Amino acid sequence: MYRYLIIECKHDQRLDDEVISLLGEIITYSKVDKDGYQAILYFEHEIDPSFEDVILNMMSDTLSDLRVYVSHNITHEKDVDQHASFMKQLINQIPFSKYYYLDNQTIVKHFIYQLSDEMKRFFLGKFYQDTLMKETLKAYLDANLNMVNAARKLYIHRNTLIQRLDKFYHGTGFDIRIFSDALIIYHLID
């Protein structure tokens, strides 16, 4: 699985190399693209350090205003650059002072009332046109996040439903069993 993070300073500050070296102590990155106030660090990492805590510590250590976006797992290496480019466009539309830590959930919440088809396609990934998965998600939402009732409505075994929801979580990073993620998915599959 491929991942990346985007770290940036305010537009009037330059991103210091010290910040990137501090991140190098936490993750092993394979490539860095840096341009002035923003850098993208590409890495392959299964274990998730708490980047939210890391960025808070880095801001206090370096006395810098920073913000970081951490991607979810991306299956194919060829998709990483396109993914990063799209996320940079979205991140640049969000005021810097609003969030210091961004992930897919935070970004979708920010744009919840102005989600375009392109954003839905991007965040749902391979499930964007998967009618079986969308029916599963809708049934689960309609059952008020109740596994037994949703499985009964879909005429499937409860374990099958769990497997589908796990597959969706691993593919998108959204765990529909968590209320806040369920609310986001409700808007994404609408």
Same domain, 71 and 143: no
The boundaries of the domain holding residue 7 are 3-102
| 133: in domain | yes
Local structure of 116: helix, strand or coil: coil
Same domain, 21 and 87: yes
Quote the pLDDT of residue 11: 63
pLDDT tens-place string over residues 15-54? 677 777 777 777 777 888 888 788 888 888 665 667 777 7
Residue whose tokens read 């069993």:
177
pLDDT tens-place string over residues 116-144? 999 999 899 889 999 999 999 999 999 99
Quote the pLDDT of residue 47: 59
How much of the chain, in percent, has pLDDT values that exceed 70? Answer: 94
Same domain, 9 and 96: yes
| 109: in domain | no
Same domain, 42 and 74: yes
Closest listed residue to residue 83, CA positions, set 93, 95, 97, 73: 73
Same domain, 15 and 96: yes
Closest listed residue to residue 70, CA positions, set 86, 95, 48: 48
